[in-house]
């Protein structure tokens, strides 16, 4: 298996994880959870890598009031069970700083798109979206 950050993968081969966080309910302003980056625990299935397969799985994760993921749902399948399963398994190991409302930690749902691609995405190379030459 190859992990999402390309560790152990020649040439930096990796799945890419982007987080789009969305809180549900409540009227008070919510400070969204932020992902704790480091080792991204989503593995690129080796047999899919070897077949040059790529795809995207859109997940919905529930981030608890302590920053752990306690529920994962597939919102949009990649079309490949191996990618969807790898995304779900890895998402359960993600960690966040908890969301807050009025200073209190709260649980929220977040959308997490997981890209399984052999090519690096511009937004993962430190290039801001919309940046021009």
Task: Give the angle subtended at the CA of 95 by the CAs of 131 and 62, to the nearest 5°.
Answer: 95
The whole-number pLDDT of residue 34 equals 85
**For residue range 67-92, what is the model confidence (pLDDT) as tens digits?**
999 999 999 999 999 999 999 999 99
Q: What is the pLDDT averaged over residues 107-133? A: 67
Q: Is residue 58's pLDDT more than 60?
A: yes
- Taking the whole predicted model, whether its pTM rises above 0.75 is answered as no
Contacts of 86 (CB under 8 A, 6+ apart): 1, 15, 42, 43, 44, 45, 116
Q: What is the mean pLDDT of residues 2-23?
A: 46
27 beta partners: none
CATH topology of domain 2-120: TolA/TonB C-terminal domain (3.30.2420)
Nearest CA to 104 among 62, 65, 63? 65
């Amino acid at each position: 298996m190859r992990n999402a950050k390309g560790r152990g993968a020649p040439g930096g081969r990796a799945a890419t994880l982007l987080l789009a966080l969305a809180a549900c309910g409540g009227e008070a302003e919510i400070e969204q959870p932020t992902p704790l980056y480091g080792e991204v625990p989503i593995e690129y299935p080796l047999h899919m890598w070897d077949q040059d397969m790529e795809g995207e799985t859109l997940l919905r994760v529930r981030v608890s009031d302590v920053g752990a993921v306690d529920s994962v749902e597939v919102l949009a399948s990649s079309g490949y069970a191996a990618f969807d399963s790898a995304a779900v398994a890895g998402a359960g190991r993600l960690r966040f700083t908890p969301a807050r409302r009025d200073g209190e930690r709260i649980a929220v749902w977040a959308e997490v798109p997981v890209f399984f691609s052999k090519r690096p995405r511009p937004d993962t190379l430190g290039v801001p979206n919309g940046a021009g030459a």
